[in-house]
């Protein structure tokens, strides 16, 4: 039964929380709006994380942000007081590395051209894939005479595009040149297609926008990894080998988190501590429906104290 025709079930009592937890072993957790807002951890989250782990539940933190490696995300979690190791973090950069390594069986003699930051480079290196690009062309000034210096590179087997604060024309021209070579047939992968990037002082163009010059000039669509797209979940199961029927996606946004679970045909729990509202989820015209709704993920701490 696809989740899209399910009427969301609201969890409000400790008994309902218990019955829900009995059904699932693994929780994929969106972070901002579920665990924290900015640098403020939500009420009950630390206790909930501790309680669930004590009871043998696996928690995996899922993020579309490709700028940091899992090793650097761990530091962010530590700073906020949430225990986490690299194995608990599933980012779009790591998912992309898993995809190239485990699903595409990326050739040993090929390299990846990266538009993006260190998160992608580090995760590729971690699975034994060499990359080029990334910060190499940061801050380059080009003249029209420099077009001649952009040459085909037969070692490039894929172009990965993620968020890059130092995106510039030279990077786009190189990526275009590699991908426009039909014989080379390089893979074209986007870490995610979020059109905006949330910075502390407002929103700015995101990965899904930055990749558009390539998509338009090439007239070619990339494989898109991050939520709400299915490849991210395929890579999750390729890496973690958990039982899909006992895995639940938890998030605050219908259009990314919940759609992600729906697309992957796993259970979804929407919390009301972030962007989407209960009214939006219950709207008969809303095509994306969570399996469950509850006020806050932190409310599971009440089960321990009950």
Is 32 among the residues known to form the active site?
Answer: yes
Pairing mode, strands 9-10 and 292-294: parallel
Is 109 among the residues known to form the active site?
Answer: no
Kindly state the smallest distance separating residue 21's Cβ from a second copy, in Å: 37
Report in angstroms the alpha-carbon separations of 195 from 37, 203, 211, 234, 253: 20, 10, 10, 22, 15
Q: Which of 32, 126, 153, 234 is catalytic?
A: 32
Establish whether 32 is an annotated binding residue.
yes
Establish whether 30 is an annotated binding residue.
yes
Give the whole-angstrom CA distance, residue 39 versus residue 28.
20
Using CB under 8 A, which residues numbered 57 to 86 contact a second copy? 67
Name the token pair of 155: 């070692």
208 binds a second copy (CB under 8 A): yes
Task: Using CB under 8 A, pick the residue from 9, 86, 204, 221 that binds a second copy.
Answer: 204
Establish whether 174 is an annotated binding residue.
no
Residue 5 makes CB contacts below 8 A (sequence gap 6+) with 289
Report in angstroms the alpha-carbon separations of 69 from 62, 64, 102, 161: 13, 12, 18, 15
143 binds a second copy (CB under 8 A): yes
177 binds a second copy (CB under 8 A): yes
Give the whole-angstrom CA distance, residue 138 versus residue 93.
20
Task: Using CB under 8 A, pick the residue from 7, 19, 103, 169 that binds a second copy.
Answer: 169
Q: Which helix (H) or strand (E) holds 17?
A: helix 14-23
Rank residues 119 and 290 by Cβ distance to a second copy and give the closer one: 119
Q: Give SS3 for 14.
A: helix
Q: Which residues are annotated as a binding site?
A: 30, 32, 227, 252
Q: Which residues are catalytic?
A: 30, 32
Binding site for a second copy (CB under 8 A): 67, 138-144, 146-148, 150, 164-169, 172-173, 176-177, 180, 195-196, 199-206, 208-210, 212-217, 219
Q: Which residues are annotated as a binding site for substrate?
A: 227
């Amino acid at each position: 039964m696809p989740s899209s025709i399910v009427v969301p079930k609201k969890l409000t009592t400790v008994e309902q929380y218990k019955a829900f937890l009995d059904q699932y072993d693994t929780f994929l957790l969106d972070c901002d709006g579920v665990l924290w807002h900015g640098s403020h951890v939500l009420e009950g989250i630390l206790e909930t994380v501790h309680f669930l782990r004590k009871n043998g539940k696996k928690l995996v933190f899922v993020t579309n942000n490709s700028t940091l490696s899992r090793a650097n995300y761990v530091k962010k979690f530590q700073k906020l007081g949430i225990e986490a190791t690299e194995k608990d973090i599933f980012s779009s950069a790591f998912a992309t590395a898993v995809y190239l390594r485990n699903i595409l069986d990326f050739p040993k003699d090929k390299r990846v051209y990266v538009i993006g930051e260190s998160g992608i480079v580090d995760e590729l290196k971690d699975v034994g894939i060499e990359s080029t690009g990334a910060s190499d062309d940061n801050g380059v000034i080009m003249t029209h005479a420099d077009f001649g210096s952009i040459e085909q590179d037969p070692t490039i087997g894929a172009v990965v595009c993620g968020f890059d604060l130092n995106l510039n024309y030279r990077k786009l021209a190189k990526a275009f040149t590699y991908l426009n070579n039909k014989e080379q047939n390089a893979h074209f992968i986007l870490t995610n297609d979020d059109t905006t990037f949330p910075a502390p002082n407002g929103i700015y163009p995101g990965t899904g926008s930055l990749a558009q010059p390539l998509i338009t000039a090439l007239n070619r669509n990339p494989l898109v990894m991050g939520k709400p797209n299915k490849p991210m979940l395929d890579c999750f199961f390729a890496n973690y080998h958990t039982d899909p029927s006992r895995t639940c996606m938890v998030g605050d946004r219908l259009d990314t988190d919940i759609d992600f679970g729906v697309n992957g045909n796993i259970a979804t729990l929407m919390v009301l501590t972030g962007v989407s509202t209960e009214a939006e989820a219950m709207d008969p015209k809303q095509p994306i429906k969570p399996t469950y709704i509850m006020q806050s993920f932190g409310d599971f701490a009440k089960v321990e104290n009950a």
